[in-house]
Each structure stands twice: as structure tokens, then as C-alpha cells.
Amino acid sequence: MGLLEGKTALVTGGGSGIGLAGAVRLAAEGAHVFVTGRRKAELDAAVEVIGPGSATAVTGDISDLADLDRLYETIRSRGSGLDVLFANASVAAFATLEQMTEEHFDALFDINVRGTLFTVQKALPLLNDGASVILNGSTNVDVGAEAFGVYAASKAATRSFARTWANELKGRGIRVNTITPGPTDTPGLSGLAPDPEQAAGLRQGLAAQVPLGRLGRPEEIAAAVAFLASGQSSFITGSSLYVDGGLNQI
């Protein structure tokens, strides 16, 4: 028996990286997993990887409230509510304070903060009592990495949301936690660099800062997501679980 037999889960940004690994793991633990993201081809491929009987893809943008309504209507029509919500979708980009533009700020806050907020708000009627909500954070909230100010601030907002929502939803037995990955080898991380050569340099530089001497693997973050999603973490709420190879700990 898996940890999530008979449960229903949603993973935003489930088409790649940590979201895809999370979806694979939640399905392996027995959940039926809905995945959403903007690119249909990635989502269709993800469903093949997760297992077509265990996954449903719904194309959409979490910063578009009509898309969220359509997503939740699809989940509602399955008739089992929602037991696990992994609000994982985010975007990242570099810009120093001096380079900052309105577009940079709006793009990151629209998706990472506003999108995450309405992803969870619009899930409320569907969330079953005892559900687990997991927000994807970042080790960047604790440090001042150059040119990552808006991304870090958006993730600090996410961390704060988890505390407030854990308080507001405790009466329904719904737990809300943040997962806090360190640098993890995903398309999103490599995509921060303008070309493959610089991406390799970025990955190498980040790995060298991690006490365990390497980047995280998406599956390692997914294992912690499965823990937070399941009853194994029944006394944990409002918390942040670091999966960072010791980066922010030592």
C-alpha cells in the first residue's frame, strides 16, 4: 500500500522539473494526480511518464483566474475532492535592483505570489478535511543572492502565506507547509542561463556551494513532498522543510 492510496492530488507546474517528479511520486504512492501548466506538449508527455491511468492533464496558467476555475471544475467533476495540493509552479529570472523593470517585477509576482494565492484560494471548496497543501519555496528567502531579489521576495511571500493559511485552515484539519529546495537540477534552473555552456557553469558553481557537493535531484525533493502530503507528517503544519543538501543549515 502506498502512502496516498485513493487520494486525489493536484501539482501545478507538473509538466517538468520538481513538479513532474512530485507528480510521479504522488502517483507512485497511490494518488490520482492532476497536473497543470501552460505547455500542453509537456503535460501530455508528463501524463505518459506518470502513468495515463493515474494522471489527468489540464492546460492552464495559474495567474489566469479563469484557467484556475476551469482546472478546479475538471477536478470537481471527478467527484473525490482534493486531498493534496502541491502549489509548485513558479518562474525565476535574474535582475539586480538597478536593472529591475516593471515587467520583471509583474511577471514574477503575478505567477509566484498572486498565482499561488489564487491556486490555493480557489481550491478551498474542493479540499477535503485533513488535506495537505504544500507550497514550493526556496532557500533564497534566507540569503541575499545577487540579482535574485524579486524571486527571493516572491518566495518569502510564499513562506509567509504558509504560516497564515496553516492558521486559517487548521479548523478543517488542513495542513499547510512549505517545501524549501536548495539548488536542484531541473530545466528551470538551467533556463536561468542564456546558453547551455553558461548553464553548465551555473550548475557547477551552485553545486560547489552545497555542503553535500552536488545539486539536488528532483526525486529527492519529491520524496519530501510525499512525506508532507501524507499522514506521516500529521503533526507538521505552518512549517518549512528544507531539502537543500545542508546549504542553509551549516
Ligand X SMILES: NC(=O)c1ccc[n+]([C@@H]2O[C@H](COP(=O)([O-])OP(=O)(O)OC[C@H]3O[C@@H](n4cnc5c(N)ncnc54)[C@H](OP(=O)(O)O)[C@@H]3O)[C@@H](O)[C@H]2O)c1
> Is 151 a catalytic site residue?
yes
136 contributes a contact to ligand X by CB under 6 A: yes
Cβ–Cβ under 8 Å, residues 31 and 84 = yes
Question: Cβ neighbours of residue 243 under 8 Å, at least 6 residues apart?
Answer: 179, 180, 181, 182, 216, 220, 221, 224
149 contributes a contact to ligand X by CB under 6 A: no
Taking CB under 6 A as the rule, which mask of x and - marks residues 5-44 in contact with ligand X? -------xx-xxxxx----------------xxxx--x--
The CA-based angle 175-64-36, given to 5 degrees, is 60
Query: Binder to ligand X among 71, 92, 157, 169 (CB under 6 A)?
Result: 92
CA–CA separation, 3 vs 165, rounded Å? Answer: 24
CA–CA separation, 156 vs 242, rounded Å? Answer: 14
Alpha-carbon distance values, 7 to 43, 55, 117, 161 (Å): 20, 12, 23, 24
Q: Strand runs (DSSP E) across 161-218, as ranges?
A: 175-181
Based on CB atoms, which residue is closest to ligand X, 128 or 199?
A: 199
Nearest distance, CB of residue 171 and ligand X, angstroms: 28
Nearest distance, CB of residue 37 and ligand X, angstroms: 4
Nearest distance, CB of residue 186 and ligand X, angstroms: 3
- Identified catalytic residue from 151, 161, 165, 242: 151
Nearest distance, CB of residue 5 and ligand X, angstroms: 26
240 contributes a contact to ligand X by CB under 6 A: no
**Subset of residues 158 to 177 that bind ligand X, contact rule: CB under 6 A:** none
Q: Is 77 exposed, middle or buried (0-12, 13-18, 19+ CB in 10 A)?
A: exposed
Alpha-carbon distance values, 120 to 80, 92, 160 (Å): 17, 20, 14
138 contributes a contact to ligand X by CB under 6 A: yes
Query: Binder to ligand X among 188, 207, 214, 238 (CB under 6 A)?
Result: 188
Alpha-carbon distance values, 156 to 151, 160, 180 (Å): 9, 6, 11
Give the number of residues in contact with ligand X, rule: CB under 6 A. 31
Q: Which residue numbers are catalytic?
A: 151
Give contact residues for ligand X (rule: CB under 6 A).
12-13, 15-19, 36-39, 42, 61-63, 88-92, 111, 115, 136, 138, 181, 183-184, 186-189
